[in-house]
Amino acid sequence: MRHFAHLAPDERERLFHVEPQEFTAHDDREVLAVALGATLYLPGTRPAIAADLVRRAAQGVTSAVVCLEDAIADRDVPAAEANLVAQVRSLAESGEAGPLVFVRVRTPEQIGRIVAGLGEHAGALSGFVVPKFTEDRGSDFLDTVAEASDVTGHRYFAMPILESAEVIHRETRTDALVGIRRALDKHRDRVLAVRIGATDLSSAYGIRRSRDLTIYDVLPVAQVIADVVNVLGRADDTGFVVTGSVWEYFEGQERLLKPLLRESPFIEHDERALRARLIRKALDGLIREIVLDKANGITGKTVIHPSHVPAVHALSVVTHEEYVDAAHVLGVEMSDGGVAASGYRNKMNEAKPHRAWAERTMLRARVFGVSGADVSFVDLLGAGDPT
């Protein structure tokens, strides 16, 4: 797999100072966690999951979750489970390239049934997504994922979703997050990323944000996200990759507030029509939310529509300026610490405070590449225009 592999080679050469590198399902956990990018959710009842995954992979999707939980009705669980197994087997037997595939399960027992049903094709899965994760409830799931790995000989990852009442409510949140960290520490090598369930978090307050607002404008939920990053997203050996919450909209209606995209970058790059399409499909709100995700230490995002993928990936590319600064911080010149002006002569780089940021930036550069010096987000998004 390779981000932006769906673009022609000459187009990638034009856009990238350093092109994205290839990665596989067998790469290190740290690489795969960043490489997830936009993780596309599909309900387990879809009749052509295998074909959908192949088609979306060809369009740039590198990770997907087949959902057996909230995305399907309770009565449809057995049929969805059987459909999932049949579709993943079909994908494996076809030999066609697909994304990293995960399954969002309801119970630990489902993990065993799915793995057994896949049989010799059990390695076609990369892992399992655990909903409403808490220390008590989640530990059984993590133990079962570990057992499935041992039985099949395949490495399975777990991705917990934080969306339970204990995490939402202020009076229990700190204890719940510390307990979750204890549970995850016991299976650190199997935890790929921590996901945030903003829809469930919002539902506790009877809230549904509009397309004019980001999740960071919804303060009760934004406070939860801040605490999740505080406890679980630290840039040390205790932290995990934390991924961004879902954006629910894929078509625009009448707008109450002004669009969230400046006109000038689109005018400069002769992409006025692209901006108009993004606004019409409510993707300007998604773009702003991705920017705020990055500012708050969040990597990647859950998506429910293919049109969201290009925006997530375009904003995941390391800019030339970021790359120059990160290389400066990690270079010989600043190996003993200190402070110096950046290569762009517009800020100060500090060796010690900026080191963790620089290391994370270089890891992102490995999987998403580095844009050319004169290439902007508008160019990257326009090359893979989702409309």
200: annotated binding-site residue? Answer: yes
Closest CA to 328 of 342, 339, 318: 342
Measured between alpha carbons, how far is 91 from 370 in angstroms, rounded to an integer? 32
The amino acid that residue 371 corresponds to is S
Q: Which helix (H) or strand (E) holds 116?
A: helix 108-118
Neighbouring CB atoms inside 10 A of 153's CB total 8
Cα 12 to chain center, whole Å? 22
Place of tokens 């605490």: 227
Query: What 3-state class would DSSP assign to 93?
Result: helix
Q: Please tell me the number of Cα atoms within 13 Å of 15 on its side-chain side.
A: 25
3 state SS of 269? coil
Residues 6+ apart with CB under 8 A from 204: 165, 168, 169
d(CA 85, CA 150): 20
Q: How many residues does the chain have?
A: 387
Tokens matching residue 330: 């990690």
Pairing of the two strands 301-303 and 38-43: parallel
CA 6, distance to chain mean position in Å, is: 19
- Bridge partner list, 370: 18, 318
Core vs surface per residue 156-182: b (16+ CB within 10 A) or e: bbbbbbbbbebbbeeeebeebbebbbe
Q: What residues form DSSP beta bridges with 158?
A: 128, 191
Percentage helix, strand, coil, to 5, in the chain? 50, 15, 35
Written as six digits, the tokens of 32 are 């795969």
Residue 296 neighbours by CB under 8 Å, 6+ apart: 216, 225, 226, 229
* Phi, psi for residue 132 in degrees, rounded to 5: 45, 50
Q: Residues at the annotated binding site?
A: 200
Binding residues for Mg(2+): 200
